[in-house]
Amino acid sequence: MHDTGKVLLGLAVFAGVVTGPVWYGLGHGRGAPPELAKPVEGTRCVEPTPIMRAQHMEILNRWRDAVVRRGETVYVAGDGQRYRISLTGTCLRCHVEPAKFCIKCHEYAGVQAFCWDCHQEKRRVVTAARGGMGGQP
């Protein structure tokens, strides 16, 4: 055991390289989670916030499969409430600006979501005649 110094130095360099991105992020003011825009309509999401935070991507994937593959357009939430399955028509009614909510958080988390390549980012007003259950995906 004559190389303790070299080993420790090597370990220090390794740890530095591996955790580098973290220090870089902290140094550029990206340490704290971003401030997200508050939803405008409604007081609650389709599911409780912790579930949405952790599983929104899975819920959205199931929504996609339900509408596109099976033609099912109604989501029955955990509390029994029914919602129209629609990214633009339902999600964006409250989260009016994806740039200040979805995109902002994904940027912070380093996740690339390409929903907006196709789905409209513009908030849509659902007309009374068609009710909350009409509209498009």
- Residues of this chain that interact with another protein (CB under 8 A) are 47, 51, 55, 58-59, 62-64, 66-78, 84-86, 88-89, 114, 117-120, 122, 124, 130, 133-137
Polymer length of the chain = 137
Q: With respect to another protein, which residue has the nearer C-beta, 5 or 71?
A: 71
Q: Which is nearer to another protein, 3 or 114 (CB)?
A: 114
State the nearest-atom distance from the C-beta of 71 to another protein, in Å: 5
3-state class (DSSP) for residue 1: coil
Token pair of 9 as six digits = 């130095």
Instruction: Provide the 3-class DSSP secondary structure of residue 48.
Output: coil
Nearest-approach distance from CB 128 to another protein, in angstroms:
15
Q: Determine the Cα–Cα distance for residues 132 and 90; give it in Å rounded to an integer.
A: 9
**Nearest distance from residue 98's CB to another protein, in Å?**
14
Give 18 or 118: the residue with its C-beta nearer to another protein: 118
Helix, strand, or coil (residue 58): helix
Q: Hey, what's the torsion of the CAs at 35, 61, 78, 129, to 10 degrees?
A: 90
* Residue 105, token pair as written in the block: 């958080």
Contact indicator for 89, 135 with CB cutoff of 8 Å: yes
3-state DSSP call for residue 107? helix
> CB of 38: closest distance to another protein in angstroms?
22
CB of 33 to another protein, least distance (A): 23
Which CB, 1 or 125, lies closer to another protein? 125
Between 87 and 101, CB nearer to another protein: 87
